[in-house]
A and B are shown apart, each in its own frame.
Chain A
């Protein structure tokens, strides 16, 4: 069974940093691209970042470019999102998501999410 489990969320002050993790199991992690998607009450669902299976391709939403860094450790079956210079508008539930197939695109499998709150 495919499982994605996010962790690392919490309360952080504006300007602060946080590192999210996504632990994967039930599939060959190193073969799949992965995404981070966030959800806020005000703006709904927003794609945040993408990383290819080998980390050779990485994309970011304009709203986080230059502040967030996506990475992965295929030996540890883990995905990360380093978030710096956090702003109130980054407050959201953050999900990691995987496509159905290793050679496809999309976000078919999602974790349960981790809540990030940016507030003083």
Chain B
């Protein structure tokens, strides 16, 4: 199975900040990488697919990059609604696997 390692596991930031979350795959996955946002009690919401493609309706403050084994999610100009948990996921091969999550908290 492909292991997905996210860092950091938690992150404190202020409204207006720009933050970056990284995700590393244990083997190359091309650009078959997705990013999700999850708020308490809700289903994960897809933000980015194919490593850098923005899902319809997702604001452009979210951006993704990378290919192969190293990927990043960047969120610019943080707003209160952005404080949530973020997950990466590889869908290059089954079993699909997820990172352990990054909890973004308000400083």
* A residues neighboring B (CB under 8 Å): 35, 37, 44-47, 50, 59, 61-62, 95, 100, 105-113
List of A residues within 8 angstroms of B95 by Cβ = 47, 59, 61-62
Contacting pair A108 B101 (CB below 8 A): no
- Closest B residue to A39 by beta carbon equals B44
Total A-B residue pairs with C-beta atoms closer than 8 Å?
Answer: 50
B97 part of interface (Cβ distance < 8 Å) = yes
Choose among A105, A109, A112 the residue with the greatest number of B CB atoms under 10 Å from its CB.
Answer: A105
- How many angstroms between the C-alpha atoms of A35 and B98 in the bound complex? 14
Contacting pair B32 A105 (CB below 8 A): yes
- Closest A residue to B87 by beta carbon equals A45
Contacting pair B91 A107 (CB below 8 A): yes
List of B residues within 8 angstroms of A37 by Cβ = 96
- How many angstroms between the C-alpha atoms of A103 and B49 in the bound complex? 14
List of B residues within 8 angstroms of A109 by Cβ = 46
Interface size of B by CB at 8 A reads 19
- CB B3 to nearest CB in A, in angstroms, measures 13
Contacting pair B46 A108 (CB below 8 A): yes
CB pairs A–B below 8 angstroms (6 shown): A35-B96, A45-B89, A47-B96, A95-B44, A106-B49, A106-B91
List of B residues within 8 angstroms of A46 by Cβ = 98
Contacting pair A113 B43 (CB below 8 A): yes
Contacting pair A45 B44 (CB below 8 A): yes
- How many angstroms between the C-alpha atoms of A62 and B1 in the bound complex? 10
**B92-107 to A contact mask, C-beta < 8 Å, 1/0:** 0011111011000000
A108-B98 in contact given A45-B87, A95-B43 (Cβ < 8 Å): no
- How many angstroms between the C-alpha atoms of A12 and B25 in the bound complex? 36
B34 part of interface (Cβ distance < 8 Å) = yes
